[in-house]
């Protein structure tokens, strides 16, 4: 197994408070890994450390075999980053944004122009190459950010809430782009607040809370660990959730109840598990 990303006993401490607390996990090459957690769980700080923007207080982080503290330039050459915030320059054209990024990465012509055309075509923006970015829709700007992140041909792509604020159709189009990149062999780490996004895209899921990794596995492994069947019971204006190993077990429990008012059975999903583990929904 080739390891693309490795964190060992990583801490990040601000004002004597550990924002990331003894974090350890690995991401295999070619894997699509989802990192979940409520606001303040330490996800963004983890991404900042992985992408060399923040140094860990303690612990080891390697990206493509390079230590992000001792070899930050080599690590940066191996990664592409798409942040939640729009980071393309609205006063430049689509092509000018790509050209600037290519020059910053010292990609020589004519390869630079070939790669710009290749990735603009891939994200369906080649016809908008001469348009100012500020005239683009939110979805187009996000696709441009993806194209720009891929221009220097990184091995690992970090996506920090890439579809936030987008309409459902645009989100689905981005899902297909992300999934296709992964099928081509790219390692991807995704953070998101959309559970359906993780269920659709990710091979393995890590859930953080309070700076710690509190659960790790495939969706099926998480469901098997916490229960694949769920009994929902309405109590006043809230719902109580009871997990069971299987849906059949949940149905058996329901059938044994004399009063079934406000009760129902369904398969558990990732959001159920997330709420059970963290005690709250994503904001």
Is the pLDDT assigned to residue 281 strictly greater than 70? no
Report the pLDDT averaged over residues 109-120: 96
Decide if pLDDT at 282 tops 60. no
Are 128 and 52 within one domain? Answer: yes
Could you tell me the residue range of the domain that residue 37 belongs to?
3-221
Asked if residue 277 has pLDDT above 80, the reply is: yes
If phi > 0 it is left, if psi is from -120 to 50 it is alpha, else beta; for residue 216 that is: beta
pLDDT at 1 over 80: no
For residues 54-59, give the mean pLDDT. 96
pLDDT higher than threshold 60 for residue 89: yes
98 within domain boundaries:
yes
Pair (34, 146) in one structural domain: yes
Q: Do 181 and 59 share a structural domain?
A: yes
Is residue 149 located within the same domain as residue 247?
no
- Cα–Cα distance measured from residue 213 to residue 208, given in angstroms and rounded to the nearest whole number: 4
29 and 123 fall within a common domain: yes
In a domain, residue 281? The reply is no
pLDDT band at residue 84 under the 50/70/90 scheme: confident
Nearest to 8 by CA among 63, 74, 75, 70: 63
* pLDDT at residue 123 greater than cutoff 90: yes
Task: Give the model's pLDDT for residue 51.
Answer: 94
* Of the residues 197, 221, 245, the one at which a domain ends: 221
At residue 221 the predicted structure's pLDDT band, cuts being 50, 70 and 90, is: very high
- CA–CA gap between residue 36 and residue 181 (Å, rounded): 21
Q: What is the pTM of this model?
A: 0.90
Q: Is residue 73 part of a domain?
A: yes
- Structural domain ending residue among the three candidates 187, 205, 221: 221
Instruction: Identify whether the C-beta of residue 207 lies closer than 8 Å to the C-beta of residue 214.
Output: yes
CATH of the domain at 29: 3.40.50.300
Segment 78-95 mean pLDDT = 92
State how many domains the chain has.
2
Same domain, 138 and 234: no
Shared-domain flag, residues 184 and 246: no
Q: Is 162 in the same domain as 244?
A: no
The verdict on 158 and 186 lying in the same domain is yes
**The predicted structure's pLDDT at residue 37:** 92
CB atoms within 10 A of CB 76: 19
Residue 203 has pLDDT above 80, yes or no: yes
Question: Is residue 44 in a domain?
Answer: yes
Q: Are residues 217 and 232 in the same domain?
A: no
pLDDT at 40: 87
Please indicate, yes or no, whether residues 250 and 159 belong to a single structural domain of this protein: no
Residues 179 and 240 in one domain: no
Instruction: Write down the residue that tokens 């055309």 correspond to.
Output: 117
Count other C-beta atoms under 10 Å from residue 139's C-beta: 17
| 280 located within any domain | no
Note whether residue 189 is domain-resident.
yes
Residue 268 has pLDDT above 60, yes or no: yes
């Amino acid at each position: 197994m080739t390891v693309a990303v490795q964190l060992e006993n990583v801490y990040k401490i601000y004002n004597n408070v550990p924002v990331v607390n003894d974090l350890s996990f690995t991401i295999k090459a070619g894997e699509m890994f989802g990192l979940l957690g409520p606001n303040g769980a330490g996800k963004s700080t983890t991404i900042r450390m992985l992408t060399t923007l923040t140094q860990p207080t303690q612990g080891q982080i390697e990206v493509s075999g390079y230590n992000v503290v001792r070899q930050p330039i080599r690590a940066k050459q191996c990664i592409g980053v798409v942040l939640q915030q729009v980071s393309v320059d609205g006063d430049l054209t689509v092509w000018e944004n790509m050209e600037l990024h290519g020059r910053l990465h010292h990609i020589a012509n004519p390869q630079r122009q070939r790669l710009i055309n290749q990735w603009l075509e891939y994200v369906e923006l080649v016809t908008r190459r001469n348009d100012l970015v500020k005239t683009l829709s939110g979805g187009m700007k996000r696709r441009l950010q993806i194209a720009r992140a891929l221009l220097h041909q990184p091995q690992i792509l970090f996506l920090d809430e890439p579809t936030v604020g987008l309409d459902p159709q645009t989100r689905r189009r981005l899902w297909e782009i992300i999934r296709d990149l992964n099928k081509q062999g790219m390692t991807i780490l995704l953070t998101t607040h959309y559970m359906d996004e993780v269920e659709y895209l990710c091979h393995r899921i890590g859930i953080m809370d309070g700076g710690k990794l509190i659960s790790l596995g495939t969706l099926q492994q998480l469901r098997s660990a916490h229960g694949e069947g769920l009994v929902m019971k309405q109590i006043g204006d809230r719902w109580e959730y009871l997990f069971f190993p299987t849906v059949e077990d949940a149905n058996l429990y329901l059938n044994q109840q004399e009063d079934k008012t406000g009760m129902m059975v369904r398969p558990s999903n990732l959001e159920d598990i997330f709420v059970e583990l963290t005690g709250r929904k994503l904001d």
